[in-house]
Amino acid sequence: MTVALEVRTDSWPIAGGFTIARGSRTHAHVVTVTLREGPDTGRGECVPYARYGESVEGVMADIEKMGPEIERGLTREALQQAMPAGAARNALDCAFWDLEAKRSGVPAFRAAGVDTPHDMLTAFTISLGTPDKMAADTAKAKDRPLLKVKLGGDGDPARIAAVRQAAPDARLIVDANEAWSADTFAENMAACVAAGVELIEQPLPSDSDSILATLERPIPVCADESLHTSADLERLAPLYDAVNIKLDKTGGVTEALVLLEKARAMDFKVMVGCMLGTSLAMAPATLPAQQADYVDLDAPLLLERDREPGLVFSGSMISPPVADLWG
């Protein structure tokens, strides 16, 4: 039976906006893929990211080019060679996983080797701003067990101190999004040590992170923009202590699971993170997140509204997705 491809774009408003070191956003622009085979439907969502040279229009065009191949019987396994890693392949890969689950009756978790999925604690993101603004935002979220603090370079010691004062009992991780430099690394690291931060994401630009091999790392440092697929791990091993697996970078669940297994074998700590999308983008990421040290899949909590049905959040705990959403 022929599999038909549908592609569309959707825009979801962000509650209060979202700011990181590279800029601010008011909406999450996503691309949604639907694969139809008879009565069965599989869906996937991706978030094109300009940092990696992606746009909504370009990603949609790359996906639509695969339509004839899909009609001729392209499989999820063959997709891994047919497209490069990135957002476009992610949406298709996740839609294939969902379609396979729907037509077989075997949940995606079981197909991935997880018999009984468990609830997961997600980090909750504090957007970049002035120390006073970040303290005010943190005060509203101070009862959440794990906060992820966006930093921006200059002024970060004051930001992290303000956040810690506003949430004295929360666990903290920080994400600099490549905004630190070799000159500011030591001062910013010391501020994080003083605040009891337990993980620092991507402090330096990916094209100059080799200097991490020479810097003191009293807090584990996690690769995000420097990591895309399992092929990157050998280079990163001397530089980083942890890796952030995102499906829009790996090109889907299939490679994410390969990356997870290899990272574990190399003794990396593992975070499973996300771009700013809906529950349809988060749901497939809950597969590798079952084995992660850190989970950062809070994007639906940052939107004004989400897909229905969406993931179920109880505070910062995420329940595995229902089949009507994905998998």
Question: What residues act catalytically?
Answer: 150, 246
Burial of 51 (0-12, 13-18, 19+ CB in 10 A): exposed
Number of neighbouring beta carbons within 10 Å of residue 8: 10
Number of neighbouring beta carbons within 10 Å of residue 139: 13
What are the backbone angles phi and psi of residue 56, rounded to the nearest 5°? -60, -45
The CATH code for residues 4-111 is 3.30.390.10
pLDDT in tens, 62-77: 999 999 999 999 999 9
Place of tokens 């396979």: 100
Domain boundaries, the chain: 4-111, 120-318
Tokens describing residue 260: 């997870």
pLDDT in tens, 87-139: 999 999 999 999 999 999 999 999 999 989 999 999 999 999 999 999 999 99
Note whether 4-111 and 120-318 share their fold: no
pLDDT in tens, 224-274: 999 999 999 999 999 999 999 999 999 999 999 999 999 999 999 999 999
* CATH among 3.40.50.300, 3.90.1150.10, 3.20.20.120, 3.10.110.10 for 120-318: 3.20.20.120
Place of tokens 């603090």: 149
